[in-house]
Structure 1
Amino acid sequence: MLLEDFNAAGRTEAVTALRPCLDIGRWIEEIVDSRPFGSTGSLLDAARRAAEPFTDAEVETALAHHPRIGERPAGNSTEARLSRSEQATLGAPDPAVAAAISEGNRNYEQKFGQVFLIRAAGRSREEILAAINTRLAHTPEDELEVIGQQLREIAVLRLEGLISA
């Protein structure tokens, strides 16, 4: 979508366009209410500001829409397609690394009671595995901060791919 089209879009259309980037109503509303934007850079800056900080409830809502890392997201929604595209950049899985990520996912979910979330774009499977192992040592409070940062990175990357000058 072109920035000028996003700026001119009706409220419902703009909200619908942003939802796959990050399904947090407050974040979406702040961006939509800040239109018009003079550049994609100012849009991305507004998205970063709106994402700081997320509440615990917002993080929980956003996590409900994210698949496990290393698993193929089901469905044909825009969000599922974005997740598949982001995880496709990981390349073909080494069976041992894939098994270790799967085990890491289970251990993470057992410890934190939620899906492991990481910005997959630009990372290798080995980097993701290292991140799982590092983050398993976090306290729930420390991990919440990391999850918020990962959500911000994912949202801004998706928004950057959605809106062009």
Structure 2
Amino acid sequence: MESSVVLGEREWLACCGSVRFAKEMASAGPFSSYQEAVGAASDMWFNKVDVNGWLEAFSAHPQIGESPSKTHKSPTSAQWSKGEQSTALATATDSTLQELCEWNARYRQKFGFVFLIFASGRSTPEILAEIKRRYQNRPIVELELAAKEQMKITELRLSKLFSANATAPSTTNTHYASDVAKVEEDRVSRISGHLGTAKETPAEKAAETFTRTRPPITTHVLDIARGSPAAGIEVLLEAWDNNNQSRPLFGQMDSSHNWKLQGSSTTDKDGRSGQLMKMVDILKPGIYRISFNTGKYNPTGFFPYVSIVFEVRDSQKLEHFHVPLLLSPFSFSTYRGS
């Protein structure tokens, strides 16, 4: 017979800073497994806690890059926040911390709440890129995204509580420990797609609950000669589509009838292309090509157009691919971003 892990309001408040959430979850418990607790927490958070409760939970978090307040109502939560930001702080410089501070202030001024992100394992440059991207969202969209990030944090913290309560050398507690460790591994692997999929979990299983917040392939263009984003450049995204040949051979890259258009767009004032393909959780493995109408943008330049060809492998279909173009009249470069 399985024993249950009993969590009080204090423990639930450490997981999620909404008082109503903590009270309701304490009343609903105890829970016989980590999975049961996560299911109840998700239902409570998304279906029963109102917007005021969401904002209360958001306010319990320090800004990314800042230390938690000594007067924080949950010392455990403050300690966890510090640990969750450890990678960001370890990869930060004085200049990136200053830039992050400025963007935190801009974000709060626009949306009215702290920028919330599942920070575990994420570097400061990654977090900076994400806050800049999300800053463009409408408030209602950003509120929902922040709520999803809070739930990810709640799941991770809850796994720590269940692990802490699974220290006794019993069969049941050993089951808890392995169950919690596996689910936490799955959570981190889904959120940090650049780290790859979980070693013990097939990609298909992780995809059952995986939800993207942006299209799987994106790009932006920087004019490095002018030192500014390149606006107004036409962009095409295509995928290699030939049933008899899995990939183009050298010398066949311009066989246009084998390339299937996925979407097109024009870069905005920030040099971003916008949505180039449908929002799909699982990206089809294969060869992709992003083409830029650089000749129209810079008629006196050396390149009438630029095409970047890259491969998405089967093991990478849950990852995000950001393929930027760094352009000048007589040179260009690219890289795999996240």
Specify the TM-score bucket, using the shorter chain as the normaliser: 0.7 to 0.9
- Residue 30 (structure 1) aligned with residue 24 (structure 2): yes
Structure 2 residue aligned with 1:18: 12
Match of 1:85 among 83, 86, 91: 83
- Residue 155 (structure 1) aligned with residue 154 (structure 2): yes
| CA deviations over 1:16-71 (Å, ceiling 9, x no partner) | 12111112133223322332322222112222222114422112211221111111
Larger Rg: 2
SS in 2 for 1:20: helix
Letter in 2 for 1:65: A
| CA deviations over 1:79-98 (Å, ceiling 9, x no partner) | 21111111113224123322
Match of 1:74 among 29, 52, 69: 69
Where is the helix percentage greater, Structure 1 or Structure 2?
1
Q: Which runs of 5+ in 2 are unaligned?
A: 164-175, 177-338
Letter in 2 for 1:109: R
| CA deviations over 1:101-125 (Å, ceiling 9, x no partner) | 1111111112112221111113221
Give the distance between the partners of 2:11 and 2:5, measured in 1 at CA.
8
Letter in 2 for 1:61: E
Letter in 1 for 2:111: F
Structure 1 residue aligned with 2:173: none
- The alignment-based identity, stated in percent, is 33
- Please report the TM-score for the alignment, with normalisation by the length of structure 2: 0.44
Give the distance between the partners of 2:3 and 2:16, measured in 1 at CA.
21
Following superposition, the deviation at residue 5 of structure 1 comes to 6.6
- Residue 134 (structure 1) aligned with residue 128 (structure 2): no
Query: Structure 1 residues 142, 122: closer, same or farther in 2, change over 3 A?
Result: same
Give the distance between the partners of 1:80 and 1:4, measured in 2 at CA.
29
Q: Which moved more, 1:74-83 or 1:108-117?
A: 74-83
- Residue 59 (structure 1) aligned with residue 54 (structure 2): yes
> Which has the bigger relative contact order, CA under 8 A and spacing at least 6?
1
Give the distance between the partners of 2:32 and 2:58, measured in 1 at CA.
31
Structure 2 residue aligned with 1:39: 33
Give the distance between the partners of 2:118 and 2:3, measured in 1 at CA.
28
Give the distance between the partners of 2:110 and 2:121, measured in 1 at CA.
26
SS in 1 for 2:132: helix
Q: Which moved more, 1:70-79 or 1:58-67?
A: 70-79
Alignment root-mean-square deviation, CA:
2.1
- Residue 96 (structure 1) aligned with residue 95 (structure 2): yes
Give the distance between the partners of 2:45 and 2:121, measured in 1 at CA.
21
